[in-house]
Amino acid sequence: MIIMGLINNAALLLALIIIYEISYNIPAGWVKLVPWMNGILIGFIGLIIMTFPYELKPGIFFDTRTILISTSALTFGLLPASIASIILVLYRIALGGAGLLMGIATIVTSVCVGGLWRHFFIPQYGRLRWVNIYLFGVVVHLLMLVDAFVLAWDTALQIIEQITIPVLLVYPIATVILSLLILQQKERKEAQTRIMDAEERYKSIFHNSHNIMLLIDPHSGSIIDANPAASRFYGWTIETLKSMNIEQINTLNPDETKAEMEKAYLEKRNYFLFQHRRASGEAVDVEVHSSPVTLKEKTYLYSIIHDISDRVVANLALYESEQRFRLLVESAPEAIFIVSEGKFRYINEFAVSVFGAQSAAQLLNTNVMDRYHPDYHGIIRERVKILLEEKKSMPPNEVIFLRLDGTSVFVEVSAVPIHYNNTDGSLVIARDITEQKIASYEILKLNTELEQRVEERTSELQKSVNELEAFAYTVSHDLKSPLRAIDAYSRILMEDYPEVIEGEIQDILSNIKNISRDMIALINKLLQYSTASRLGLYRETIDLHQLFELTFNELTAAIPERRIKLIMETQIPKIEGDKILLKQVVNNIISNAVKFTRNTDTAVIKVGHTIEANQITIYVNDNGVGFPMESSEKLFGIFQRLHSAEEYEGTGIGLATVQKIIKKHGGRVRILGKAGKGATIYVTLPK
């Protein structure tokens, strides 16, 4: 009686198959709602099942809700099963009775076991899949029997005693049958969906592809289908193409066309180069990839066609270019050869002559290193390694080739990486520079001899200059004594015999005295100039800023009646140099500025500096008489003057001395000016 009641109740579970069928026919836009809808429908079936239970005791009744919920969780998923479980739990609470807690517990355990089994032990395809599901059914219903112990102990034992055998006999089998029906239905639907998706993808690819595609009957050559790209390419409508035979398009004769289709059909070949006719009558070069494809149990040739007319034109142009290149290489007046795996693979006529061979055959496939002088083997191996591994071109490098007779040839070699006959190698260009090397050697020899002669003449000239400077120094020094004597005697006569020396004689003695003093000043300047050349440098730290200020104060102290202003525009840094010589430089420059601003009401002397890179430039500007720039070069010549001695006193040696001292320090001097607008002298020294 119990078994029959449970079997009748289990029949209602077949409604699940209908739900599964419905879920596969819901529109795509509603797909996200499918689990919810399934859950509600499963819950509705559960309500019907619970309406026709087997009642063991008042308030304690049994039905197949555990099969419904566990199978739903296993096949539909946890969400629909959970929704259905909530509905059934609410309904069971509404029913009440002594078996309320057990009823709720069986629903909860069923959905939990179904969800876990789906996640960890879901049955895959195979003959023993039913065993997996049967074990699943046994586990679910063993737990259902355990749930009885939420009731009173004697009631639980009574339930176990009466329903254990019927439940374990009927429920696992019902679970297997129902699950297998649903899973098979699911697999069948999924297979149908995959087929439909595949067909849709094929149609989408076929009709939306920009590639030209044809579907051809391999036996008759009839065009079964053509895509829009084919229609655009050939110039016929799709319907027209579908009424045509491939022999009307292929320029091969019918027998050749059938033979090529046979190769594609039997998969002996799937790549072809043809010429196809267009509706306009134009023949176009195409490449065809064709292979058999089965649609609705019939085999066709699925052909993808590419227009390669541009490629054919490009290949022809490339071939012509290669021919021109070959002609150029063959007739080039330089040795050109290709090397791979250390051997000559190609060599032009000029290279044949450079190596002293009768023909290219004497060199082809021989070792290239045999044609290099041994002194260059290491360099060549290193260059070849870089060229092949890093794919870098090698710049020109001078080496020596060895002819077949052993004689040497000087060449300038460059190389570029090249792929030749499926092998990495190098294209080598060598220019014969033997004549240039001989000429260079002769020029080098002449230059060496010339440098030697120049060095000898320079040495002799320097010796003469040194002797002349020594002579000038000696003469200047020796002339000072008699001039001082003349000056002294003149002064004695004028001071001791004033009553005798009168009139014209007094003027003569005064002139003698003045001339003597001018000569002594000139000799002092000459000695300074000579000293600047002869003495070595004693370098020390010099405060040029302070030196300019002290020198200015010393020179202007003797002429208090003059209005002279010194403006130090920048703080001149300290430098390394010979203090005595540089003091002479500053003295000569400032004294010139003071001297040539004599006729200016308010003389202004500006001193400052600039720094660039590793050098400092000091400038001294005055607002004096200035000078025309075309005469600037004369200012640095010894005894050169732009003004007469009556206008401005001086010897014409001051700036020459400045230039010599600054050059000795590794610097340079230049001067800018304008007549009536003053002058600026620039002294540049290394920092």
Most confident region among 120-124, 201-205, 280-284, 675-679 by mean pLDDT: 280-284
In tens, the pLDDT along 151-166 reads 888 888 888 888 888 8
The residue-averaged pLDDT of 534-563 equals 84
pLDDT at 574 exceeding the cut of 70? yes
User: What's the pLDDT at 466?
Assistant: 60
User: What's the pLDDT at 25?
Assistant: 60
CB 58 within 8 A of CB 100: no
Compare 587 and 322 and report the one with higher pLDDT.
587
Residue 126 pLDDT class (50, 70, 90 cuts): low
Cα torsion 107, 112, 115, 116: sign? negative
Beta bridge partners of 347: 337
- One-letter identity of residue 312: V
In tens, the pLDDT along 605-650 reads 999 999 988 899 999 999 988 887 776 666 776 655 555 555 556 5
The residue-averaged pLDDT of 215-237 equals 92
User: What's the pLDDT at 471?
Assistant: 55
User: What's the pLDDT at 99?
Assistant: 84
**Domains of the chain, first to last:** 1-190 (1.10.1760), 209-313 (3.30.450.20), 535-686 (3.30.565.10)
Q: If you search the block for the tokens 């149609």, which residue do you land on?
A: 203
User: What's the pLDDT at 483?
Assistant: 62
Residue 401 pLDDT class (50, 70, 90 cuts): very high
CB 173 within 8 A of CB 131: no
Compare 581 and 355 and report the one with higher pLDDT.
355
Calpha distance 168→144 (Å, rounded): 10
Least confident window among 86-95, 513-522, 580-589, 614-623:
513-522
User: What's the pLDDT at 566?
Assistant: 92
Mean pLDDT of the residues in the chain: 81
Choose among 165, 167, 145, 166: nearest CA to 157: 145
CB 534 within 8 A of CB 553: no
Cα torsion 358, 360, 362, 368: sign? positive
Output the six-digit token pair for 470: 């020594």
User: What's the pLDDT at 648?
Assistant: 58
Residue 186 pLDDT class (50, 70, 90 cuts): confident
pLDDT at 231 exceeding the cut of 70? yes
Compare 686 and 460 and report the one with higher pLDDT.
686
Compare 610 and 9 and report the one with higher pLDDT.
610
User: What's the pLDDT at 535?
Assistant: 59
pLDDT at 21 exceeding the cut of 70? no
Task: Report the share of the chain in percent with pLDDT over 90.
Answer: 27
- Consecutive H or E run containing 484: helix 434-496
The residue-averaged pLDDT of 34-55 equals 80
Calpha distance 508→595 (Å, rounded): 28
CA angle, residues 37, 40, 46, in degrees to nearest 5? 145
User: What's the pLDDT at 1?
Assistant: 44
Q: Where are the alpha helices (DSSP H) in 53-152?
A: 65-75, 78-95, 100-121, 129-146
Calpha distance 508→519 (Å, rounded): 16
Give the per-residue SS3 of 174-225: HHHHHHHHHHHHHHHHHHHHHHHHHHHHHHHHHHHCCCEEEEECCCCCEEEE
Calpha distance 578→685 (Å, rounded): 12
User: What's the pLDDT at 5?
Assistant: 47
The residue-averaged pLDDT of 303-327 equals 84
User: What's the pLDDT at 683?
Assistant: 93
User: What's the pLDDT at 487?
Assistant: 65
pTM of the model: 0.36
Residue 437 pLDDT class (50, 70, 90 cuts): confident
User: What's the pLDDT at 613?
Assistant: 81
